[in-house]
Structure 1
């Protein structure tokens, strides 16, 4: 009887699958592509506005628009009064004054309030926070007529200080909520050590708390500045010619004579520049402030 060698076992090759890192790279590439497409969709109107601002009025009014039309600064020259129109400097200065001063007032009021609601919580601090939040539940249009009547009775219509008070009251609830979340991340042990060393409340707030939450203060200030700079409804109703702001001046280009598209686009670019400059200047503080407390 002859012994036969056992046949070697048959090994079935596993199905070929893409390695995990390769699949991950493909997924990331797809997500990146979608993000670029969405970003281009959002930034396309801004790019188109910038391009149109450097076209002449006949080229800007063509249908379909002429992309490769000759470039000119005629729209900017007309916006700054080269054609004998109104100069934009008083409205721009009014917007800058109202935005900066109201933002400073908001920070002066919001930081102590947020300190009392986070580090040294007052009694029923949740009710206080809800009260601040409830002031934003009222539609702006509903408060427009009472504010107008009060301003008319006090004789402060068309006054830049009226806008400063209105903008301060509008942005204060948002600033308190933002600063409260930032101040809640300040370690209590640091303040206790400062108190043991004889540091007063005012000094600890000035030398310890504020430097620690400076990115949060910058983020809050930038958001309040943007809200004040872009506000239109109150500025349109409560001002006339003396305290006219940049957004009100901007809508004045829509007249019965027609819409001068190149001039409007040039005006929109100029009016947007202060916000863009402030955002780029404080972008590092803004990112730190908005992410403060996200990772512990």
Structure 2
């Protein structure tokens, strides 16, 4: 046997040994893996449906009359009506829900914008241009969430009363900003930590100052994280009840406080309450669907290296 034949045989053997073994799709291992994946998929669908059932039940009940909604057990075949929505929008002479909805929208939007304007420079200083003892700063932001909200309610109420800011929507804007700012800094710090420093240095070499770097370099790269942070802050502000219930009256009443007016001394109007809950939930659902892709990217940013 020639030298070339021996060498070719050795190369063929080494290539065959190095080639990964491809498992046939009908092999027992592949069938087992396919059954496991199918079972996990079915389980995920079941869990998702179970979690969605209360919301679907609320939606269905909102289209029932008060008599049908109060039956026990509830009837799925009951006739559908829009009486609950008509009562919510005040078509029967009740109070209009538009001022509370607009107050909630105003407080949530303004506080979210303020949080982003304050959290982005803070996260930049804690992740890219790290200040001294930045871990202590992060712990300080986290420690502000350790105090129960109800513990600071009385001092805030007395302060608002003394300065004449009770029943003022701007007081809620300030409180929601301070409430969401630590969460926003923590989230955006992890998002901005993945921004390449070389891009920022290149922009600074070209003469870009800090506001330009934040607006035109950092913000576009960290857009998914900013979208996720803003959506979470918006949801927290929209759903907040304790501050709004104690510190507002008529002019600054928000949507969650307005929902409590459905529960009266005459009883619980279940169909109207479900209709009101559906309407109040729509802005959050719309914002979530609009920023769905950015939200998924932002929440998973940095999860896979």
Give the TM-score of the pair, scaled to structure 2: 0.90
Please point out which of 142, 147, 154 is paired with 2:156: 147
Q: How much does 1:295 deviate?
A: 2.3
Q: Distance in 2 between matches of 1:55 and 1:18?
A: 54
Distance 1:46 1:287 in 2: 22
Superposed, 1:67-78 pairs within 5 Å as 67-78=76-87
Tell me what 2:135 maps to: 126
The answer on 1:207 being equivalent to 2:219 is no
- Residue 86 of structure 1, CA deviation: 0.5
Equivalent position of 1:170 in the other structure: 179
- Give distance in 1, aligned partners of 2:211 and 2:244: 36
Match of 1:261 among 254, 260, 270: 270
**TM-superposition CA deviations, 1:185-224 (whole Å, max 9, x none):** 0111111222222222221222111111011111100000
Residue of structure 2 in register with 1:88 after alignment: 97
The Cα shift of 1:37 comes to: 1.6
What is the CA-CA distance between 1:146 and the residue it aligns to?
1.0
Alignment partner, residue 217 of structure 1? 226
Identify the residue that residue 59 of structure 1 maps to in structure 2.
68
Matches of 1:158 and 1:292 in 2, distance apart? 40
Inter-partner Cα distance in structure 1 for 2:214 and 2:280: 36
List alignment gaps of at least 5 residues for structure 1: 1-16
Q: Which residue, 16, 30, 41 being the options, matches 1:21?
A: 30
Bigger mean CA deviation after superposition, 152-161 or 29-38: 29-38
Q: Return the offset for 1:18.
A: 6.9
Matched, 1:38 2:47: yes
Matched, 1:160 2:169: yes
| Cα displacement string for residues 23-52 of structure 1 (whole angstroms, at most 9, x for unaligned residues) | 111111211222122111111111000000
* Correspondence 1:277 to 2:279: no
> Which one of the candidate residues 196, 209, 228 is aligned to 2:205?
196
Q: Deviations over 1:119-166 (max 9, x none)?
A: 111111111110000000001110111111111111100000000000
Cα distance in 2 for partners of 1:163, 1:218 equals 22
Q: 2:261 aligns with which of 233, 247, 252?
A: 252
1:185 corresponds to which of 182, 191, 194: 194
Q: Distance in 2 between matches of 1:196 and 1:242?
A: 51
- Counterpart-to-counterpart distance in 1, 2:165 and 2:213: 39
Distance 1:242 1:192 in 2: 49
Query: In structure 1, what is the Cα distance between the partners aligned to 2:71 and 2:205?
Result: 73
- Superposition RMSD on alpha carbons, in Å? 1.1
Task: Find the aligned partners of 2:128 and 2:92 in 1 and give their Cα distance.
Answer: 57
The worse-fitting range, judged by mean Cα deviation, of 101-110 and 55-64 is 55-64
